[in-house]
């Protein structure tokens, strides 16, 4: 498996584009994205667990209920959520795209992100459709920019790998910066592949993958209304159809995991106002559930996040988070250390503090990527969660988000 350029366009038979159509006031910010497969593709998706869901989710669920899709249309700047005519607008987005591409509206995935509770005007989308379709190309960067809201940079990744004697590809783009919490977040993730796989197995592998990727990130404890992960696999690589959980399935599963894990870390690192990526690695747990619960509690703790921002090796806050997480652990067996490119330093052994150099700890915690290593010393299960530090800028960004 090797990293390649192209994002969602790295897979054979996919093109993408992104434009500013007028949904957002700032003309320098793109607000409409399109991804198209030249042939019918197996489709799978996972959605927010928030009871309040954006209208595009209902339409997408209906459109790909048969397990197939051809295109993805997405706007930023408006979530199309809690609106009386939300379903109508989402369906109109699909019909406008279908007409422009000469495909069926029922084969289109639709997504929106932005302000909740504000009516979405269809006219800018309608007026921009010709430009959007006319600018389809082999680079996904413009589409990646068009789905951003408070993100500071586009997020895209792709890899090439081999199944049988065929070179295959998988790539993705994502947006996500705030309202990020485990069990999907205010993120949109679109992944494409040219692997030939049945819709049933694609849905299975996607549903399982998110449990260790996107469901293991947190920025601020809020779970959004429009979260969506969609995957299209069009079979253009012409590998033997993956119709059972065989060796080819495992290869595809590994490639998908690389894409989702990479994008998960990029989302966490780009948390609103963030200056550091936090990675919590838990091992020695009695079972996987305990490991995941501990990891998510630690990266989700506002006090831990604030300490990491201040380069303060306040390990007591980590023990505190573990204690209220609800996970059944033996607190007298817990070891904790911090590591980064500047080295590592042990701060807790058997649930008690150990002598350490504050000066060295500050150097370790001064890096942009910090690893919090926790050994529960009670089993063999492990898990990893990702988050970011809590800075002054988070409040500034969210204090005037609508204005």
Query: What pLDDT was estimated at residue 386?
Result: 93
Sign of CA dihedral 179, 184, 188, 191: positive
Burial code (b: 16+ CB inside 10 Å, e: under 16) for 46-85 equals bbbebeebbbbbbbbeebbeeebbbbbbbbbbbbbbebee
Instruction: Look at residue 159 and tell me whether its pLDDT is greater than 70.
Output: yes
Query: What pLDDT was estimated at residue 152?
Result: 83
Domain shared by 247 and 349, yes or no: no
Between residues 395 and 29, the one the model is more confident about: 29
Write phi, then psi, for 341 (nearest 5 degrees). Answer: -65, -15
pLDDT in tens, 229-240: 999 999 999 999
Catalytic residue, candidates 81, 97, 186, 225: 186
Domain shared by 161 and 64, yes or no: yes
> What residues make up the domain containing 341?
277-399
Domain shared by 216 and 311, yes or no: no
Domain shared by 101 and 175, yes or no: yes
Which of 229, 246, 269 is where one domain is finished? Answer: 269
Domain shared by 12 and 149, yes or no: yes
Domain shared by 127 and 207, yes or no: yes
Active-site residue, 97 included: no
Query: Average pLDDT in the 131-158 region?
Result: 94
Instruction: Look at residue 399 and tell me whether its pLDDT is greater than 80.
Output: no
Query: What pLDDT was estimated at residue 402?
Result: 53
Instruction: Look at residue 54 and tell me whether its pLDDT is greater than 90.
Output: no
Q: What angle do CA 115, 119, 124 make, to 5 degrees?
A: 95
Domain shared by 55 and 186, yes or no: yes
CATH code of the domain covering residue 206: 3.60.70.12
54: tokens are: 């954006």
Domain shared by 311 and 381, yes or no: yes
Percent of the chain scoring above 90 in pLDDT: 78
Instruction: Look at residue 287 and tell me whether its pLDDT is greater than 90.
Output: yes
Instruction: Look at residue 178 and tell me whether its pLDDT is greater than 60.
Output: no
Domain shared by 148 and 66, yes or no: yes
Query: What pLDDT was estimated at residue 180?
Result: 44
Instruction: Look at residue 395 and tell me whether its pLDDT is greater than 90.
Output: no
Domain shared by 240 and 318, yes or no: no
Query: What pLDDT was estimated at residue 61?
Result: 96
Instruction: Look at residue 30 and tell me whether its pLDDT is greater than 90.
Output: yes
Domain shared by 71 and 202, yes or no: yes
Which of 269, 289, 310 is where one domain is finished? Answer: 269
Band the pLDDT of 394: cuts 50, 70, 90: low
pLDDT in tens, 6-29: 999 999 999 999 999 999 988 899
Query: Taking a C-beta distance cutoff of 8 angstroms, is the pair 342, 363 a contact?
Result: yes
CATH code of the domain covering residue 368: 3.10.20.340
**Total domains present in the chain:** 2
Which of 222, 238, 269 is where one domain is finished? Answer: 269
Domain shared by 263 and 281, yes or no: no
Q: Any idea which of 44-58, 133-147, 236-250, 374-388 has the lowest mean pLDDT?
A: 44-58
């Amino acid at each position: 498996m090797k990293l390649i350029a192209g994002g969602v366009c790295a897979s054979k038979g996919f093109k993408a584009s992104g434009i500013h159509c007028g949904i957002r006031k700032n003309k320098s910010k793109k607000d409409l994205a399109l991804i198209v497969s030249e042939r019918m593709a197996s489709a799978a998706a996972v959605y927010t667990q928030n009871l309040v869901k954006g209208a595009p989710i209902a339409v997408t669920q209906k459109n790909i209920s048969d397990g197939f899709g051809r295109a993805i249309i997405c706007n930023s700047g408006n979530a199309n959520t809690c609106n009386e005519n939300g379903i109508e607008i989402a369906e109109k987005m699909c019909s406008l795209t279908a007409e422009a591409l000469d495909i069926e509206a029922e084969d289109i995935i639709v997504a929106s992100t932005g302000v909740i509770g504000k009516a979405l005007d269809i006219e800018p989308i309608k007026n921009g459709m010709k430009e959007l379709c006319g600018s389809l190309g082999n680079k996904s960067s413009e589409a990646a920019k068009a789905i951003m809201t408070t993100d500071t940079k586009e997020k895209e990744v792709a890899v090439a790998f081999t199944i049988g004697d065929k070179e295959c590809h998988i790539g993705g783009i994502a947006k996500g910066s705030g309202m990020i919490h485990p069990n999907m977040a205010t993120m949109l993730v679109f992944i494409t592949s040219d692997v030939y796989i049945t819709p049933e197995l694609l849905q299975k592998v996607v549903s399982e993958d998110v449990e260790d990727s996107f469901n293991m990130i947190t920025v601020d404890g809020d779970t959004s209304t429009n979260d969506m992960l969609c995957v299209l696999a069009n079979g253009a690589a012409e590998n033997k159809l993956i119709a059972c959980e065989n060796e080819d399935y495992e290869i595809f599963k590994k490639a998908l995991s690389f894409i989702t894990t990479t994008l998960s870390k990029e989302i966490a690192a780009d948390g609103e106002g963030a200056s550091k990526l936090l990675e919590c690695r838990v091992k020695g747990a009695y079972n996987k559930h305990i490991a995941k619960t501990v990891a998510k509690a630690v990266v989700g703790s506002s006090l831990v996040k604030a300490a990491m921002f201040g380069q303060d090796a306040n390990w007591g806050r980590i023990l505190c988070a573990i204690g209220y997480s609800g996970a059944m652990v033996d607190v007298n067996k817990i070891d904790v250390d911090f590591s980064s490119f500047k080295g590592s330093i042990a701060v807790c052994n058997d649930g008690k503090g150990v002598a350490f150099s504050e000066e060295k700890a500050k150097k370790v915690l001064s890096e942009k990527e910090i690893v919090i290593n926790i050994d529960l010393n009670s089993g063999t299960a492990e898990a990893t969660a990702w988050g970011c530090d809590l800075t002054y800028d988070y409040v500034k960004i969210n204090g005037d988000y609508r204005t």
